[in-house]
DNA sequence: AGTCGTTCTGCGCAATCTGATCAGTGATGG
DNA sequence: CCATCACTGATCAGATTGCGCAGAACGACT
């Protein structure tokens, strides 16, 4: 399998990550390649799904949701996960959810305005029928902010 | 405290999330407001930190890292978290890390090329001195992809 | 060696967008 | 009543985009 990305792709992605507002033209100047090349590379990366989008990254904390927590949900086996996921998707404070190993469990990342507010969010979550038990871990500090950039370099090196 | 965002901000953010490539001018047309207004709102949102950036969103799976897992690390109390975080930051497969409630524990999101590769990543993580024990949860499916948009609406409604 | 397919280059054009600015207007609050 | 603030609608020069094209470079295959 041919490498998903090459060295130029890496430099391009890193450049875009560092200075998202620069356009294709400016990027081509920085990378010392033709404008068409940058355009083609970008299109290819998007087409391959490596770049999912350029949407604005929102900061929950700046919106007043300063508390982050991870909650593990034990799901009643009958019924499956889908209805539960549907329920979770109606709660804005549930940012993401994964099914994980270990009988019928779900791991969610949630946010809240305060610890008291967190209680409300959790209550809302567990109000659903199919949820048997919930176990919450409050995030105290973000030791390593979400990042994917190092991965691109690794993908290019290995192939 | 005055609401961080108002209804126009919400529409703007949602529009940008749906179609990131449209410029300020096109956005102003869609929202039926003056271009300067959109520009001012955007600047304000960025200045307030609500919008952290417009960087490309990368998909680890498209880069060959199809396996996601969450790993809880028990840290030796003496020494603190910082050295451990520094160690983790050197491993590209560690996408984020949070300190969580429960004596000296760290929760990380990691990715790998395969289950076998996951073992390598875990080994690399636990190779560090200050880490006493690690417990891994493999993500089987993404029930709810990461999202923050609903939060903006909530923030605007509540205030 | 010869040929093909792909990628990159360098160029040009028309159309569009950007950043900045300005005067006028309506709403808010002192 | 007046000051302040946000929004409007407009203008301007300059930069950028989307698009296509011909030629060169490169590797793969016959």
Instruction: Convert the pLDDT of each residue in B1-20 to its tens digit.
Output: 456 899 999 999 999 999 99
Among B27, B46, B47, smallest CA distance to B37 is for: B27
A82: closest chain B residue by CA: B143
Nucleic acid strand D: bases within 7 A of protein CB: 6-10, 15-21
Every domain of chain A with CATH number 1.10.10.10 lies at 7-56
Grade residue A159 by pLDDT with cuts at 50, 70 and 90.
low
Q: Is B11 helix (H, G, I), strand (E, B) or coil?
A: helix
- Which nucleotide lies closest to A38 by the C1' atom and the CA atom? C8
- Asked whether residue B56 carries a pLDDT value surpassing 80, the answer given is yes
Q: Has residue A108 got a pLDDT over 70? A: yes
Portion of chain A with pLDDT greater than 90, in percent = 86
Considering the domain A7-56, what is its CATH architecture? Orthogonal Bundle (1.10)
**Fold topology of B60-138:** Alpha-Beta Plaits (3.30.70)
pLDDT for A157: 84
Mean pLDDT to the nearest integer, B16-39: 95
A150 touches strand D (CB under 7 A): no
Nucleic acid strand C within 7 Å of A138 CB = no
Helical (H) or strand (E) element with A108: strand A105-112
pLDDT of the residue at A125: 97
**Binary contact (A54, B57; C-beta < 8 A):** yes
B146 vs A contacts (CB less than 8 Å): 95-96, 109
Tens of pLDDT, residue by residue over B71-101, are: 999 999 887 788 999 999 999 999 999 999 9
Average pLDDT of A45-56?
93
Residues 9-38 of A with CB under 7 A from strand C: 21, 33-37
List C-alpha distances in Å: A60 to A145, B6, B61.
Answer: 13, 15, 25
Q: What is the location of CATH 3.30.70.920 in chain B? A: 60-138
Cross-chain residue pair A151–B58, CB shorter than 8 Å? yes
Least confident of A41-55, A73-87, A122-136, B110-124: A73-87
The pLDDT confidence band at residue A1, using thresholds 50, 70 and 90, is very low
Which residues of A are less than 8 Å from B17 in CB distance? 55-56
């Amino acid at each position: 399998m041919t490498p998903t990305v090459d060295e130029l792709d890496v430099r391009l992605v890193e450049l875009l990550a560092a200075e998202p507002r620069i356009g294709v033209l400016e990027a081509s100047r920085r990378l010392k390649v033709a404008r068409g090349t940058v355009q083609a590379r970008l299109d290819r990366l998007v087409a391959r799904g490596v770049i999912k989008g350029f949407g604005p990254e929102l900061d929950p904390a700046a919106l007043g949701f300063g508390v982050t927590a991870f909650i593990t949900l034990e799901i009643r086996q009958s019924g499956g996960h889908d209805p539960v996921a549907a329920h979770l998707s109606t709660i804005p404070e549930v940012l993401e959810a994964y099914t994980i190993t270990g009988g019928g469990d779900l791991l969610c990342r949630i946010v809240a305005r305060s610890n008291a507010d967190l209680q409300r969010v959790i209550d809302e979550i567990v109000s659903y029928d199919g949820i048997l038990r919930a176990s919450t871990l409050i995030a105290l500090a973000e030791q390593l902010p979400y990042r994917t950039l190092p991965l691109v370099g690794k993908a290019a090196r290995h192939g």
